[in-house]
């Protein structure tokens, strides 16, 4: 089945759920029309569907291979990447100051979804480059920006994040890689890094590794880390790649999924590194990069879920099996007629569209925080910071669920690799793990984003949801039931919030025992809220006679989500409020 | 990590939750002591842990291969199977009349769990043989029983189920394989069958295929099917395998998991078949086989979940990462200390032990239906029939969830194939599909097991649960909270039941839209009920001073299950009672 980029739904989200109306008033976007954004996404969608999507099956089968220290990519990846660079797609959402197209992050998120739905193994290379750009733009010196940013934004060079070591995964405080200062102001980097996505390959002219390491005498733990640029090829006087640096790929991992994406073990043997930002500020610099990467991984979750849903929907229309339970015909019918197949398809659709809306709305707040009117900046920033770990945690967990449902819709054929749906199930499984596990996202949401401001941002969001409920009740009809379910879920959210705020100071373990349930409850509610807003926008558009089929479909998604997904918030609340004791006291 | 057969928990279940006290009074088991059963399971556990479990990693990597029409099994499988046969393990739960050990089904279920936890690819061969034995014992002629049963029960020959064809999966009515009667009373079988587990291999001396096919002039649909024995080697006059029959393996599937188990496409080219039972009674005969296989697949779910939990628990004790959230030490600790890791481990443990208890209790009712006092037979049979699709559907869906959680506990290492946990995640995914998808089980539960008797069996179970609640309240302490949660979940069950009984006659689609939610709600409640009974038994044992650590651990599991898993019933009820419209009306 060919991949169909969901341009219409992405544009609907951009127009109705992101902060576009406010963002478009800013100086940067004053001359940009929605039609321009649509044209960009359509062109990118064509490229992804025609050039990237066909790479997947063979890419998965062959995998990236290490031969004599060089990574051999599966057939077609190099050519597709060259075209990606030539068309300038890497630059889409980056600042015009360094050659980027400067489109809003909400459009960037849409593009990230499309690319990763086409092929996540391919999409990981630009994703890491995007993150390196964010980190250098935020923390690099002017000289470093001049040397690296243009090439990275063009996609001519790619970027990596070098954090993990065998003993240091979620806990970066345990990083042991050393950086010895040299007389010329550079550093000699020594150590081993693992799980380095696109840590070695030959699709780009250079690879800019961003490496966390410890300088001599640095304090133990996370506060002693510094960030370094370690280019695969050191730059010559003219800024072009010259001598090979002392970093090499010693092996590639044999992974469950995203097999075409090379996951490298890198050995640094006195490699030349350049300090980014101040010494010991490494984690702070890296956090900029991680936030961008985490949000993008959440979008990958939407991408995989959408691709899996598209494939399952096509299968359900094609496969003929069994007569209907209502006995309306004695002949076998397409399985899309069977109630439980419909249930699975609607569950997938609701989670895909809910996740997408949550991601685009969050990106919209990021845009508002960057380009909005002064009085909105702080609030927009708080909203985006609160929702970023939710996008990552919720959308990736749902991607695993949706991919699993898609396998189920395929029945026995789903278990056969040639069918292709098992690949998405395998690919999806990394999403709740890399760039911070779901538990790490939940700790961020609960600790830094909820407890730290005394629940202020969380309550502000609850108020906004209550406003949407009011609008839904005014709209009447099916919207009233959606409002009822939103209200019940919001009540679960607020009760959980009160419990957590009350409990955390005196019993942190009891609060954190519910952290993932709180993240999932929050994600379920926030995505449901966005779909409630979507229902209102669709209802208004339908009344105007705009694209009635699409709008009716959107209203159906929102209604299903409210009736089938939102009720799970009650279980999450019960676990948060009553569950800690039975969890903490058990002997394991 | 080596596999540790959970003998202690299996024996606790057998003693406290199965119907052993009543069954052991029957003539067959009058002389059997619990200590005898324990000795058998311990010996079998040693064999599985030492001989079968080590096969898995290489078996998965190599996979079964087809070479010149013959299946080459991965290294060690043939030898292990020979030892399995030599030790007589295939005969464990089969009737002494044909050479079986004749142990109760509850013990058989325990053994099935152990074998499949050790290696599910290996376990599938005996599982299919067990099913073939069931079908022939129920529907074969005396001559057929004499020819085949002894060899099958000894494991010298293996069995297969030949149902599926490319156009006929869940819908067996679409089967096209033909059976032409020949002058000698045998039939010529022509057609192609797919997804035949262990459809070809050379570990056993013969393979007895049980094949669904259509005789000339048979009615269309499921009522025109007949069942045939098609041996790989036709038997000579002395009953030993002679001439090769005209059935051959044309290919093996390339699967997501259970790769060491050969899944064959078989071509029947005028193969000689022997009618089992009456013409057109094929589906009825096959149903006997399917019920046994379905129950066993549910037990496979418990097996994979237990293995995944064991591996994750070991990892959590070993892996040191991050300091505790309560700040009690500044040093990194074993991740088992972190609240969310505990949450995942307890969720796994609760689902494993809940599923196991449900399976053993169901097997206990099967035993009671076969060997109990006359006045109990009908009720025991109804209970077992009601719970069989629940064991299959619930335990297999939970196996996927538990395997996924186990990957998550491993973090990045979980995504690396060499770690071994990804294999369980891949293996588990077939469980909710084969031997009838979850939707098929749910249709069986709702249609044949619930609506057909007007909800009588379901309500009888609800009464028994209410009795357990009373006992829990009397026990006091933590048991009261468990009773509260059980009561709430039972209320969800009864409200759903009323809705379904009321709705199905006038709007079958609306009832069946909630079928899988009903199955999951039922499974969640029934497993929680068994754990409530387990709590009472453990409480009593602890008061007597019996194995206090184990009993305390069991009480903790039951309490966690009640507080964390049972609350999901509320969401399921909401979907069943309010969800049908939004599901059925949407345009897909």
Using DSSP, state whether A171 is helix, strand or coil.
coil
Distance, in Å, from the CA atom of B428 to the CA atom of A429, rounded to the nearest integer, reads 14
> In this model, does residue A1 exceed pLDDT 80?
no
- Mean pLDDT for A34-42 is 97
- Best mutation target among B582, B584, B587 (most A Cβ atoms within 10 Å) is B582
The verdict on B564 touching A (C-beta cutoff 8 Å) is: yes
Residues 326-345 of A with CB under 8 A from B: 326-327, 330, 332, 336, 338-343, 345
A320 and A332 in contact (C-beta within 8 Å)? Answer: yes
Do B233 and B156 form a contact (C-beta atoms < 8 A)? no
Q: How far is B582 from chain A (nearest CA, A)?
A: 5
- B503 — contact with chain A (CB < 8 Å)? no
Closest CA to B154 of B118, B135, B130: B130
| Other beta carbons less than 10 A from residue B418's beta carbon | 12
Query: To which residue do tokens 């393990």 refer?
Result: B89
> What percentage of residues in chain A have a pLDDT greater than 90?
96
- Chain segment B280-309, per-residue pLDDT in tens: 999 998 887 788 889 999 999 999 999 999
3 state SS of B369: helix
CA distance B390 to B401: 16
What integer pLDDT is reported at residue B290 of this predicted model?
Answer: 81
Cβ-based neighbours of A179, under 8 Å, separated by 6 or more:
A187, A188, A189, A190, A213, A214, A215, A226, A228, A273, A275
Mean pLDDT of A302-314: 98
Q: What is the mean pLDDT of residues B398-427?
A: 98
CB contact under 8 A, B174 and A515: no
Q: State how far the Cα of B82 lies from the Cα of A158, in Å rounded to an integer.
A: 55
Percent of chain A at pLDDT above 70? 100
pLDDT in tens, A67-111: 998 999 999 999 999 999 999 999 999 999 999 999 999 999 999
Collapse the DSSP code of A152 into the 3-class scheme (helix H, G, I; strand E, B; otherwise coil) and give the result: helix
3-state secondary structure of B357: helix
Comparison of pLDDT for A429 and B21, the residue scoring more: A429
For residue B45, the model assigns a pLDDT of: 98
Give dist(CA A265, CA A251) in Å, integer: 5
In whole angstroms, what is the distance from residue A335 CA to residue A338 CA? 5
**Residue A326 pLDDT:** 87
Q: Which residues contact B4 (CB under 8 A, 6 or more apart)?
A: B49, B310
Nearest to A254 among B321, B416, B515 (CB): B416
Helix (H) or strand (E) holding A299: helix A282-318
Q: What is the pLDDT of residue B1?
A: 55
pLDDT at B331 > cutoff 60: yes
The proportion of chain B whose per-residue pLDDT surpasses 70, expressed as a percent, equals 100
Residues of B in contact with A339 (CB under 8 A): 509, 512-513, 515, 580, 583-584
Q: Quick one: CA torsion of B139, B144, B145, B146, rounded to 10 degrees?
A: 160
d(CA B6, CA A577): 32
> Distance between CA B75 and CA B61 in Å, rounded?
11
Residue-wise pLDDT tens digits, B427-477: 999 999 999 999 999 999 999 999 999 999 999 999 999 999 999 999 999
Q: Are the C-beta atoms of residues A445 and A390 closer than 8 Å to each other? A: yes
How far apart CA A393 and CA A442 sit, in angstroms, is 7
Nearest to B285 by CA among B338, B229, B245: B229
Within 10 A of B248 (CB to CB), how many other CB atoms are there?
18
User: Could you write out the DSSP letters of every residue in B55-73?
Assistant: GHHHHHHH--EEETTEEEP
For the stretch A379-420, pLDDT in tens is 999 999 999 999 999 999 999 999 999 999 999 999 999 999
State the pairing for strand pair A206-214/A225-231. antiparallel
Closest residue in B to A576 (Cα) is B564
CA distances from B57 to A67, B111, B258 (A): 25, 21, 11
Position B327 scores a pLDDT of 87
Partner-chain residue, chosen from A322, A563, A588, that has the shortest CB–CB distance to B171: A322
DSSP sequence for A447-491: IIIIITTTTHHHHHHHHHHHHHHHHHHHH-THHHHHHHHHHHHHH
- pLDDT for the residue numbered A288: 79
* Model pLDDT for residues B241-286, shown as the tens digit of each residue: 999 999 999 999 999 999 999 999 999 999 999 999 999 999 998 8
**Residue B422: alpha-carbon gap to chain centroid:** 21
Nearest CA in chain A to B326: A508
Q: How far from B298 is each of A23, B118, B434, CA to CA, in Å?
A: 54, 16, 11
How confident is the model over B144-191, as pLDDT tens digits?
A: 999 999 999 999 999 999 999 999 999 999 999 999 999 999 999 999
- Note which residues in 205-224 of chain B have CB less than 8 A from chain A: 221
**Nearest by Cα to B529 from B563, B572, B566:** B566
Question: Of B534, B522, B541, which is closest to residue B560 (Cα–Cα)?
Answer: B534
Looking at the predicted structure, is the pLDDT value of residue A430 above 70? yes
Find, among B92, B91, B129, B118, the residue nearest to B205 by Cα: B129
Residue A9, helix vs strand vs coil: helix
| Residues of A in Cβ contact (< 8 Å) with B412 | 164, 169, 194-195, 433-434
CB neighbour list of residue B139: distance below 8 Å, 6 or more residues apart: B227, B276, B277, B281, B284, B285, B288
Whether the predicted pLDDT of A588 surpasses 80: yes
Q: Smallest CA–CA separation between A172 and chain B, in Å?
A: 8
Closest CA to B203 of B322, B51, B84: B84
List, for residues A443-472, the tens digit of each pLDDT value.
999 999 999 999 999 999 999 999 999 999
Name every residue whose Cβ is closer than 8 Å to that of residue B492 and which is 6 or more positions away in sequence: B521, B525, B569, B570, B572, B573
- Please state the ipTM of this predicted complex: 0.97
Confirm or reject contact between A549 and chain B (CB < 8 A). Answer: yes
Cross-chain Cβ contact B415/A255 below 8 Å: yes
Contacts of A512 in chain B (CB under 8 A): 325, 338-340
Q: What is the DSSP letter of B447?
A: I
Interchain CB contacts (distance < 8 Å): A and B? 261
Residue A168 pLDDT more than 80? yes
| Active-site residue (options: B134, B347, B385, B435) | B435
- Tell whether the model's pLDDT for residue A560 goes beyond 90: yes
Query: Is B400 within 8 Å of A404 when comparing Cβ atoms?
Result: yes
Task: Reply yes or no on whether A33 is catalytic.
Answer: no
DSSP letters, B76-122, are THHHHHHHHHHTTGGGTTS-GGGT-----HHHHHHHHHHHHHH-HHH
Q: Rounded to an integer, what distance in angstroms lies between the CA atom of residue A437 and that of residue A450?
A: 18
Which pLDDT score is estimated for B292?
Answer: 83
């Amino acid at each position: 089945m060919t991949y169909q980029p969901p341009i219409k739904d992405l544009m609907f989200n951009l127009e109705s759920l992101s902060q576009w109306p406010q963002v478009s008033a800013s100086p940067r976007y004053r001359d940009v029309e929605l039609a321009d954004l649509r044209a960009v996404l359509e062109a990118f969608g064509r490229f992804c569907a025609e050039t990237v999507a066909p790479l997947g099956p063979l890419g998965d089968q062959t995998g990236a291979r290490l031969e004599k220290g060089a990574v051999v990519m599966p057939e077609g990846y190099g050519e597709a990447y060259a075209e990606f660079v030539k068309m300038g797609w890497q630059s889409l959402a980056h600042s015009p100051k360094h050659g980027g197209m400067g489109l809003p992050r909400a459009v960037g998120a849409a593009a990230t979804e499309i690319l990763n739905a086409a092929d996540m193994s391919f999409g990981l290379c630009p994703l890491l480059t995007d993150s390196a750009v964010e980190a250098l733009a935020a923390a690099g010196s002017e000289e470093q920006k001049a040397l690296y940013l243009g090439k990275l934004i063009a996609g001519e060079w790619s970027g990596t994040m070098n954090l993990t070591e065998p003993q240091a995964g979620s806990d970066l405080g345990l990083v042991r890689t050393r950086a010895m200062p040299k007389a010329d102001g550079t550093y000699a980097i020594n150590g081993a890094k693992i799980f380095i996505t696109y840590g070695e390959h030959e699709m780009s002219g250079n690879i800019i590794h961003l490496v966390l390491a410890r300088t001599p005498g640095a304090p133990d733990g996370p506060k002693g880390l510094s960030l370094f640029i370690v280019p695969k090829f050191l730059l010559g006087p003219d800024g072009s790649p010259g001598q090979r640096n002392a970093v090499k790929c010693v092996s590639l991992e044999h992974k469950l999924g995203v097999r075409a994406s090379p996951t490298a073990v890198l050995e640094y043997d006195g490699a030349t590194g350049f300090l980014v930002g101040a010494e010991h500020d490494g984690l702070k610099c890296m956090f900029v990069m991680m936030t961008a990467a985490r949000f993008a991984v959440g979008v990958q979750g939407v991408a995989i879920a959408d691709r899996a849903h598209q494939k399952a929907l096509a299968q359900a229309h094609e496969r003929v099996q069994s007569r209907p339970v209502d006995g309306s015909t004695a002949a076998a019918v397409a399985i899309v007629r069977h109630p439980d197949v419909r249930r699975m398809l609607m569950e997938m659709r609701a989670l895909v569209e809910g996740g997408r809306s949550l991601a685009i709305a969050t990106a919209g707040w990021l845009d508002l925080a960057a380009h909005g009117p002064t009085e909105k900046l702080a609030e927009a920033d708080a909203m985006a910071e609160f929702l970023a770990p939710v996008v990552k945690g919720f959308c990736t967990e749902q991607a695993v669920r949706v991919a699993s449902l898609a396998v189920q819709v395929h029945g026995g054929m789903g278990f056969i690799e040639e069918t292709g749906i098992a690949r998405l199930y395998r690919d999806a499984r990394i999403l709740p793990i890399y760039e911070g596990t779901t538990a790490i996202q939940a700790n961020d949401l609960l600790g830094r984003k909820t407890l730290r401001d005394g629940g202020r941002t969380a309550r502000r969001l609850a108020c906004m949801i209550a406003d949407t409920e009011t609008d839904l009740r005014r709209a009447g009809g099916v919207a009233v039931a959606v409002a009822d379910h939103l209200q019940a879920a919001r009540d679960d959210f607020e009760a959980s919030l009160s419990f957590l705020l009350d409990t955390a100071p005196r019993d942190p373990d009891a609060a954190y025992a519910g952290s993932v349930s709180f993240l999932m409850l929050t994600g379920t509610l926030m995505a449901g809220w966005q779909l409630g807003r979507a229902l209102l926008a669709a209802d208004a558009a339908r009344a105007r006679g705009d694209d009635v089929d699409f709008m009716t479909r959107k209203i159906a998604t929102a209604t299903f989500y409210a009736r089938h997904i939102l009720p799970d918030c009650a279980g999450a609340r019960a676990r948060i409020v009553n569950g800690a004791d039975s969890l903490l006291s058990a002997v394991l």
